[in-house]
Amino acid sequence: MNQLLQKSIPVAGPSITAREVEYVRDAAQNAWGENANVYHARFEAAFASAVNRRYAMALPSCTAGLHLALAALGIGAGDEVIVPDVTWIATVAPVSYVGATPVFADMDPVGWCVTSESLAACITPRTRAIIAVDLYGAMPAMDEILELAACHNIPVIEDAAEAAGSRYRGKPAGSFGHASVFSFHGSKTLTTGEGGMLLTDDADFFARCQFLRDHGRVPGDVSFRSTEVAFKYKMSAMQAAMGLAQVERLDELLTRKREIFGWYREYLADTLTITLNGEDDGVLSSFWMVTAIFPKGFRLDKPALMAAFKEYGVATRPMFDPLSDLPAFSAMPQAAAARARNRVSYEIAPRGINLPSGFNLTREDVMRVCAALKEILHKNA
């Protein structure tokens, strides 16, 4: 262990260059008054182009984007929204914000994303939307999901928070469904520190979202006479400036992410009991978070595994637990049904650990992480 315990290896970290610094400096100095939205407009246009969407709206978070999308669709009390059981709570929290009921669907065993079969099992006459998540940079079979949703006249929202740069059958993450959302949290492939983006091809829907995101005011209104009680979801000019620099580097950042995953795959190729992120047919993953699934029967649970890695100076994160198992939702009837139904989610999630995946990683860092993993595996098999 002493040989491995050198510098601490963080679980995530951004790639910030002179371009980001210069854009943010310029925004801080000049993006005021009549120039206040210049960087927003450039960032939105560049991002919409990158994901083949007509309209884009920069926001303070991905959660805000999901909230706006559900509100703009008129979803509320008495409605159901199907979400994957294994994802971050930010996917489902906005369902509760609008008063609807979340329904938790199972995931596939390779890419760990929601499947059309599991969604079909959850559809009822009360289903008003499906949120499909691109988990850890993977993507579900979107053509199958969209076909299913069309048969039932259900809008799909693609939660691409973790998948900037990923592609499904050649189409970019964020280009699917009635709307899509991204996160630019500090850990993400593209970052603005905090922030998000809502995208769509529907002009009327976009206009409604613009209205709702600024206290129920028509864009450009200067009367301060709101016609509805709505929300305050705006990104700062400095964040938009950083986002513009990041999206201009998207291809470079995606290449780097896949290189890092390639190192893990190389150094763990001889560790057959460990499963890393899979790429389902037609998917090109950004591998936002390299994730290791430990073998069945392994005696350390996720908190103990994280503590073991910490002894080697390696920071990790737990794979998301099923939402239906969280205290926030566990008392709901839908959660009880999901715990009985979602076999794959409950088989895989308890054994998953996110390994260091930041842009600051070197090949030597990945070698250290893999050496620590192998030693932990050997000691606790």
pLDDT digits (tens, 9 = 90+) for 153-193: 999 999 999 999 999 999 999 999 999 999 999 999 999 99
Residue 136 in contact with residue 162, Cβ under 8 Å?
A: yes
Cα distance between residue 377 and residue 203, in whole Å: 53
Residues linked to residue 275 through DSSP beta bridges, in sequence order: 293
CATH code at 29?
3.40.640.10
Residues 99 and 201 in one domain: yes
Q: Which long-range contacts (CB under 8 A, 24 or more apart) does 72-77 make?
A: 72/205, 72/208, 72/209, 72/212, 73/128, 73/129, 73/155, 73/178, 73/205, 75/100, 75/128, 75/129, 76/100
**Residue 42: which of 63, 69, 31 has the closest Cα?**
31
Whether the pLDDT of residue 1 is over 60: the answer is: no
pLDDT surpassing 60 at residue 3:
no
Whether residue 22 is contained in a domain is answered as yes
3 part of a folded domain: no
Q: Is residue 127's pLDDT more than 50?
A: yes
Count the domains in the chain.
2
What CATH number did the domain enclosing 347 receive? 3.90.1150.10
Global pTM value:
0.96
For 174, phi then psi, to 5°, come to 95, -5
5 found inside a domain: no
pLDDT category at 218 given cuts 50, 70, 90 is confident
Q: Given this model, what pLDDT does residue 381 score?
A: 78
Angle at 177 between CA 173 and CA 183, to 5 degrees: 45
Residues 244 and 162 in one domain: yes
Return the bridge partners of 314, or none: 9
Q: With 0-12 CB in 10 A as exposed, 13-18 as middle and 19+ as buried, what is 17?
A: exposed
Return the structure tokens found at 223.
Answer: 């009367």
Query: 113 with 145, same domain?
Result: yes
Note whether 182 and 256 are same-domain residues. Answer: no
**What span, in angstroms and rounded, lies between the C-alpha atoms of 155 and 158?**
10
| Locus of tokens 């006459």 | 125
Please provide the distance, in angstroms rounded to a whole number, between the alpha carbons at the two ends of the chain.
17
Which among 373, 213, 328, 313 is positioned nearest to 8, based on CA atoms? 313
Whether 224 and 365 share a structural domain: no
Amino acid at 376: I
**Among 225, 248, 271, residue at a domain's last position:** 248
List the one residue out of 365, 250, 367 whose CA is nearest residue 15: 250
Judge if 240 and 259 occupy the same domain. Answer: no
Backbone angles phi, psi at 127, to 5 degrees: -70, 125
Is the Cβ–Cβ distance between 347 and 322 less than 8 Å? Answer: no
Last residue of a domain, one of 230, 248, 266: 248
Report the alpha-carbon distance of residue 245 to residue 60 in Å, rounded: 17
> Residues 144-152: what's their mean pLDDT?
98
Assess whether 309 and 181 both reside in one domain.
no
Residue 263 lies in a domain: yes
Say if residue 139 is in the same domain as residue 277.
no
Q: Of 218, 248, 278, which one is at a domain's C-terminal end?
A: 248
Same domain, 85 and 128: yes
| Residue 43: predicted pLDDT | 98
In a domain, 1, yes or no: no
4 within a domain of the structure (yes/no): no
CB 370 within 8 A of CB 353: no
Q: What is the structure's pLDDT at 6?
A: 72
- Residue 12 is assigned to a structural domain of this protein: no
Please tell me whether residues 259 and 294 are part of one structural domain. Answer: yes
On whether both 237 and 222 belong to a single domain, the answer is yes
Closest-CA residue to 146 (of 138, 161, 135, 157): 157
Instruction: Please tell me whether residues 232 and 362 are part of one structural domain.
Output: no
Q: Tell me whether residue 8 is in a domain.
A: no
Where in the sequence is the domain holding 369, given as residue range(s)?
250-380
Amino acid identity of residue 367, one-letter, is M
Dump pLDDT digits (tens) for 48-79.
999 999 999 999 999 999 999 999 999 999 99
Q: In Å, how far are 76, 136, 173, 292, 364 from 87, measured between CA atoms? A: 22, 9, 17, 16, 30
